[in-house]
Structure 1
Amino acid sequence: MNIMRADNTDLQEILDLQYLAYQSEAALFGSKDIPPLKETLSELEAEFKKGIILKMVDDKGNIIGSVRSKSNENTVYIGKLMVHPDEQKKGYGKKLLCEIERYYPNKRFELFTSTRSIDNIRLYEKMGYKKFKEEKITDELIFVYMEKE
């Protein structure tokens, strides 16, 4: 497995992976009406211009994981950490998170997930992230925000 910066020719494949990887998140809510499943290629292209997108590539050259980041002076915002469903539970999410953090030495990191995403929260806590706020989006959806100094 290799991790490197994605380029704009990778974006459709990353978006396809995103649609696949976020099915499990949608299942937690019994609805496909979640932002990662509604993102368009043009929205992803706009994100690409504002930050860093990493891709994890298997031996055949297929993208099996990805993570995104953007930063301001003090904080790096990490999002869309995803691994292909067939490749989960192998430590790839941890590797992607470690790699994106290396791009930003001496920064504060922030990310969020749903309170229902117990596996994600467990991973982030193992990686040194701590909960600092919750935000109720709907009766069903509550985001937990986590940070790492």
Structure 2
Amino acid sequence: MGMSVTISRAAEQDAEQIFRLRYLCFQSEAALYGDHRIGPLSESLADVRGEIASGVVCVARLGDEVIGSVYGRVTADGAGEIDGLCVHPRLQGHGIGARLLRAAEAAVTEAAPVGAFRLSAGTRSEPGLRLYRRLGYRATGRAEGPDGIPRIVLERATGAGQDPAAQDPDAGTAVYAATA
């Protein structure tokens, strides 16, 4: 009998596993842009601990191993911001990314009602962009990330206080769970 993947809020003791996972997952993104200074590869363990303490961090676990993570927070303008979605490369393509994204949306909504969720992805990050579009996100603009990587900004409107997972009947059936 195999183990199933569980999704939950991260705890401080998960910080090191999240840190290592993000470093592994974002290697392919760095190679895509020819720049290993991208945000997830330049963050510190203290940065990850700070995210867990101040924002919403959800993790996917297979047994005791953290195999996926995502950050979420409410921005100053009242939107829910999602960042850093990643799933271990050996486990991509099983809907884990979609489950993590929806869990982060639900956790952010618990913290404060939001009218929209916002995220961004590199312009060359097609697998991630496909996932986000399939989950109802639409391109609203372009921006340059703090690391200089050109990004597409995507948003998904939601009824304030409504459970985001209830709005997407296909939330658990992602075809690819790429990094954000």
Q: Please report the TM-score for the alignment, with normalisation by the length of structure 2.
A: 0.77
* 2:61 counterpart of 1:67: no
Structure 2: 5+ residue runs without aligned partners? 158-180
**Which position in structure 1 is the counterpart of 2:137?**
129
- Tell me the SS of whatever aligns to 2:37: coil
Separation of aligned partners in 1, 2:42 and 2:71? 17
Structure 1: 5+ residue runs without aligned partners? none
**Which position in structure 1 is the counterpart of 2:61?**
57
Judge which range, 109-118 or 72-81, deviates more. Answer: 72-81
- Tell me the SS of whatever aligns to 1:110: strand
Shift, 1:111, TM fit: 0.4
What are the Cα deviations for residues 9-39 of structure 1, in whole angstroms up to 9, with x where unaligned?
1001100000000011011012312111010
* 2:89 counterpart of 1:85: yes
Structure 1 residue runs of 4 or more that deviate by more than 2 Å after TM superposition: none
1:147 to 139, 143, 155: 155
1:16 to 12, 17, 20: 20
Which residue identity lines up with residue 38 of structure 2 in the other structure?
I
Query: Are 2:18 and 2:48, in contact at CA under 8 Å, matched by a contact in 1?
Result: no
Judge which range, 78-87 or 96-105, deviates more. Answer: 96-105
Which residue identity lines up with residue 92 of structure 1 in the other structure?
I
* 2:51 counterpart of 1:43: no
Which residue identity lines up with residue 45 of structure 2 in the other structure?
L
Separation of aligned partners in 1, 2:149 and 2:42? 16
Shift, 1:91, TM fit: 1.1
Check 1:46–1:30 CA distance in 2 against 1; reply closer, same or farther (3 A cut): same
- Identity, in percent, stands at 33
Separation of aligned partners in 2, 1:47 and 1:64? 18
- Tell me the SS of whatever aligns to 1:31: coil
Query: Are 2:70 and 2:85, in contact at CA under 8 Å, matched by a contact in 1?
Result: yes
Separation of aligned partners in 2, 1:5 and 1:25? 25
**Which is bigger in relative contact order (C-alpha 8 A, separation at least 6)?**
2
Q: Count matched residues.
A: 147
Shift, 1:136, TM fit: 3.8
Query: Are 2:12 and 2:53, in contact at CA under 8 Å, matched by a contact in 1?
Result: no
* 2:120 counterpart of 1:116: no
Separation of aligned partners in 1, 2:79 and 2:57? 16
Q: Please report the TM-score for the alignment, with normalisation by the length of structure 1.
A: 0.92
| C-alpha RMSD of the superposition | 1.7
Shift, 1:87, TM fit: 0.5
**Which position in structure 2 is the counterpart of 1:29?**
33
